Each structure stands twice: as C-alpha cells, then as structure tokens.
Amino acid sequence: MTLLIKGGTVIGPSGSIPADVLVDGETIAAVFAPGRAPDVAQVIDATGKYVIPGAIDAHTHMQLPFGGTSASDTFETGTRAAAFGGTTTIIDFAVQKTGEVVQDGLAAWHEKAAGNCFVDYGFHMIIGGVDDASLKAMDSLVREEGISSFKLFMAYPGVFYSDDGQILRAMQKARENGSMIMMHAENGLAIDVLVQQALARGETDPVHHGLTRPEALEAEATSRAIWLASVAADCPLYIVHLSASKALAAVAEARDRGRNVFAETCPQYLYLTLEDQLGAPGFEGAKWVCSTPLRSKHESHRADLWQGLRTNDLSIVSTDHCPFCFKDQKELGLGDFSKIPNGIGGVEHRVDLLYQGVADGKLSLERWVETIATTPARMFGLYPRKGVIAPGADADIVVYDPNGRTRISVQTHHMNMDHSAYEGYEIAGKVGTVISRGEVLVDDAGEFHGRKGRGKFLQRGLSSYLI
Ligand code: URP
Ligand code: ZN
Ligand code: ZN
C-alpha cells in the first residue's frame, strides 16, 4: 500500500525541511519537495505539523522481575503505550540472573516478547554473572543473536552487581567483539552501608532512598567505569540513567579526551526532584523511587542535564521505563524505603516531555529528534533502518502537532500503572498519527489500530559511533 504524508515539515538532526513523504509498503520510498509527489489514494495531511522518525526508547524493562515483584507493563501493554506516545521501537533488557546461562535468560525474554508486541523491539543483555561462560556467550550474542550491548551493574550487591574485576573482564571482551558496555554507575557497596545506617536511625521514608544514594557515589562509579574502560583499551562505554551533575562532568571530561564514552539521561531527571516528588508527604514519594535517584532542586542537576543534551555530552534520552503500581508493589516498602521496588514508568511520555524542552527554548527541534530517535538508532546498531526519514528506511513516522497540548494523567495514559509520575502535567505539543513500518497504529483522532504481535524482533548491528 502507498501512503503520502503531505504538507508537513520533516525534522532530522541536520535540519528541518518542508517535504512530502511517500511510503510504499513497509518502507519510505521517497521524500519530495512540496507538491512534487505523485497522487496516491491514501494521504495524511500534515499541514502545520512536524514529521519525525518514529522514536526509539533504548532503555525499557517490560515484565522485569525486580525488588520482589515484576514491572507491571507486559510487552503487550508497554508497547501499546509506547505507540500512543510516538515510540515505534523499544530496546528492552533481557536478563541473565546470577547463576543462569546467558542464552537461557535470552530465550526467556524472547518468550515474553514474541507475539505480544505492537512495535518493533530489540534487546540489550544484562550480564548478572560475569564468568568464563558468560564472556563466551557475549561473543555469540553479538555474532548470532543481534545483541550488541551488555549492561553491568556497579549497584545492587547480591542481585546484579559485578565487582571491578568482573567489569574489567567484560569490558575487555566488549573491546574484542565490538559491542558496547552499558553501565549502571552507582557505588552499590557504599550505598548499602548508608542504607543500613539510615534504617538504624529510623529513617524509613521514601526520601531516604535518594539521601542514601548521594551524587558523590554516582560520580565516583561513573569515573571508575570510565577509567576501567580505558584500561580495557578504550572499550565503548555507555552510562545509563545519568542523573547528577558531577557524573555528567566525568563523562564530558572523558569525551573531551576523545574517549568512547557516551551517556543517556531520562525525563524524570530533567523534570522531577528529590524534594517535590521523592520527598512528598508520607509514603507518596515511593512513586518516584528509582535508581539513580531524583536529585535536589537546590543544586544545578536539571539545568546541567539540559545543557549536556545541547552539547552532546548526553547523547540520548531514554525512559528507563520500569513501572510498578503503588498498590501492592510500591507498598512492599511501607516502613522500609529499601524494599520499595526501584523504577518509574514513562514509555508513553518521552516524546512529549522532550518536546516541552523545545517549547521552553532548551533544545532545538533537530536535537529533539536526534536525542529521541536518530542517535539511539546509530548508537545501538539500527541505523539507517530506523531513526531517520529517508528513502529505504522503515516507514516509522510520527506526525507531531506543535500547537497541540498534552495532559498527562493516570486517567488517560495507556501504561499498566495505577498512578502517573507526571500526574497533571500540561505540556506543549501532541503526538498525532503514528506509523510503524507503513501501518497506522494511532490515527490523528487518537484511535488505535495496532495489532498485537505485529512488532518484530530487531537483530542489531554494532554501534556507528565507535572509534
Ligand atoms: O530504578 C530503576 N532504574 N529501575 C530499573 C532497573 C535499572 O537499574 O535500570
Ligand atoms: Zn540501572
Ligand atoms: Zn533500567
């Protein structure tokens, strides 16, 4: 089927041009100067709208078993919500639990996702136990399974934690096979001491989750990861969910030295704070318990993160979508903040929340598209199939209304959560038509047309950014 998206402004990292986009089947056939495209039966009028590549969320956790429960979005509910928000590809984290065979963890993740997704999906692999077998498995995942990035944890001792020796070995392996190490950079051993001391003092409220994970322990771990990567012959390193100014400074310094170091931040760190959300009265703050934690509004974190996005010291905005309901899930930590499952849901709202940055003059239109779509595709081996509006690319397209408004609420969102981290936010811009591989998933009236199971697993190549 052919489809013409007519009259809009096509936005890409290198500029914005008025153009008509012709879709033939699952791919983009051509991009025409306005009015030069042939007549076709199906036309989407994009007059006054932006036409952007379908967004890519490079950090989600559907159905992740974590903190004594499981993330509340399945691949079905989570990818449906993603589509409503203009995200047409997710990269989720398959898990090798400590003691498990890596390939078995991967197979279990395929089983969860296959036949359930509304949008395309890929996997990173969490290596929960670095040993000879898992290092060998990294090679076969890169070569045979289309998985070219591996997450390690400097936090969560006893769960996913790797020590420095294990990290170094995994980095050396990644340097060898061309893959990327993604790092959860917090000093988990030191954090556990602070947590035990806080609990011993009777400090049990959610805000203490943030207070026991100070900026210094994110900055220290980030620097340590960077130095370990340098010992591993400059292994490509990607810091996930970066929230603190001093961690950002460490990344910026490494990048200034020409190192293979990259980082992402997430909307929660750009908008939400330790005082206003995590510090909400009573147990309410549990809704915003995530790691790394929300930072203080009295420090410069949020302004520094926006700045980092402008300067490309932060390359990507992902959500770290890891939703838990308040009832029965977040409530596991009543009376003990350390038992609150860590995670915030937001897969539906990233495109809009970042567009608010454009409306506020904090980000250019081009950088908006780059940080939510083009760079994730390049960083994680999906480019030029995804992340760009160009002939031959998958026809993953969002028609975005800059004059629309979006009101975020649990009453209207599609994620499987009983609350919203952004309840009541009224923001600029609105996702209109959402197209994935040539199929309209969401039309301009907000009606959903997606089919469960149509989302395909994406075998990814190596990152385009490596030196
Ligand atoms: O709080 C978070 N970030 N939960 C998800 C797991 C992780 O560390 O990314
Ligand atoms: Zn993490
Ligand atoms: Zn995560």
Q: 40-85: per-residue pLDDT in tens?
A: 999 999 999 999 999 999 999 999 999 999 999 999 999 999 999 9
| Domain of residue 358, residue span | 54-379
Residues 6+ positions from 60 with CB-CB distance below 8 Å: 78, 82, 90, 91, 92, 93, 318, 319, 320, 321, 322, 347
183 inside domain: yes
Residue 60 in contact with ligand 1 by CB distance below 6 A: no
Point out which residues pair with 45 in neighbouring strands: 6
H helix runs in 257-349, sequence order: 267-271, 301-311
Q: Is residue 175 very low, low, confident or very high in pLDDT (cuts 50, 70, 90)?
A: very high
Residue 308 lies in a domain: yes
For residue 27 the two structure tokens come to 């791919």
Q: Kindly give the distance from the C-alpha atom of residue 404 to the centroid of ligand 3, in angstroms, as a whole number.
A: 30
Q: With a 6 A CB cut-off, is 340 part of the ligand 1 pocket?
A: no
Q: How far is CA 387 from the centre of its chain?
A: 14
At residue 467, the pLDDT reads 55
Cα distance between residue 285 and residue 206, in whole Å: 5
Sign of the dihedral defined by the CA atoms of residues 133, 75, 455, 148, in that order: negative
Name 200's Cβ contacts closer than 8 Å, sequence gap at least 6. none
Return the residue whose CA atom lies nearest to atom 8 of ligand 1: 291
Verify whether ligand 1 is closer than 6 Å to residue 241 (CB atom).
yes
Q: What whole-number distance in Å separates Cα of residue 58 and Cα of residue 122? A: 9
pLDDT confidence band for 407 (50 / 70 / 90): very high
Three-state secondary structure call for residue 221 = helix
Q: List the residue whose alpha carbon is closest to atom 7 of ligand 1.
A: 291
Contact 201/137 with Cβ under 8 angstroms? Answer: no
The number of distinct structural domains making up the chain is 1
pLDDT band of residue 311 (cuts 50, 70, 90) is very high
Mutation choice for ligand 1 from 240, 322, 340, CB with most ligand atoms inside 8 A: 322
Q: Residue 295 maps to which CATH number?
A: 3.20.20.140
Give the number of the atom of ligand 1 that is nearest the alpha carbon of residue 289. Answer: 1
Q: Are strands 426-436 and 397-407 parallel, antiparallel or unpaired?
A: antiparallel
pLDDT value, residue 1: 82
Cα 126 to middle of ligand 2, angstroms:
10
Residue nearest to atom 9 of ligand 1 (CA): 320
Dmax (CA) of the chain: 72
Sole residue written with tokens 């309410």: 284
Residue holding tokens 């949020």?
Answer: 302
State in Å: Cα 305 to ligand 2 middle.
Answer: 18
- The answer to whether residue 289 sits within a structural domain is yes
- Note the pLDDT tens digit of each residue in 337-380: 999 999 999 999 999 999 999 999 999 999 999 999 999 999 99
pLDDT > 70 fraction of the chain, expressed in percent and rounded: 100
For residue 291 and ligand 1, the question of a CB distance below 6 A is answered with: yes
Ligand nearest to the CA of 320: 3
Residue 412 CA, ligand 2 centroid: distance in Å: 28
Ligand 1 atom with the smallest distance to the CA of 153 is 8
| Global confidence as pTM | 0.98
Q: Is residue 65 part of a domain?
A: yes
* Nearest alpha carbon to residue 44 among 464, 444, 462: 444
Asked if residue 61 has its Cβ within 6 Å of ligand 1, the reply is yes
In a domain? residue 122: yes
Q: Please report, in angstroms and rounded to a whole number, the separation of the first and last CA atoms in the chain.
A: 41
- Per the DSSP assignment, residues forming a β-bridge with 31 are 21
Whether residue 189 is contained in a domain is answered as yes
Please state, in angstroms and rounded to a whole number, the distance separating the CA atoms of residues 212 and 196. 9
Whether 209 lines ligand 1, by a CB cut-off of 6 Å, is no
| Residues β-bridged to residue 183 | 152, 239
The alpha carbon of 325 is separated from its chain's Cα centroid by a whole number of angstroms, namely: 20
Q: Is 215 in the pocket of ligand 1 (CB under 6 A)?
A: no
Does a structural domain hold residue 84? Answer: yes
Q: Answer whether residue 435 is part of any domain.
A: no
On whether the CB atoms of residues 24 and 42 are closer than 8 A, the answer is no
Ligand 3 mean position to 321 CA, how many Å?
7
DSSP 339: G
| Ligand 1 contact via 217 beta carbon (within 6 Å) | no
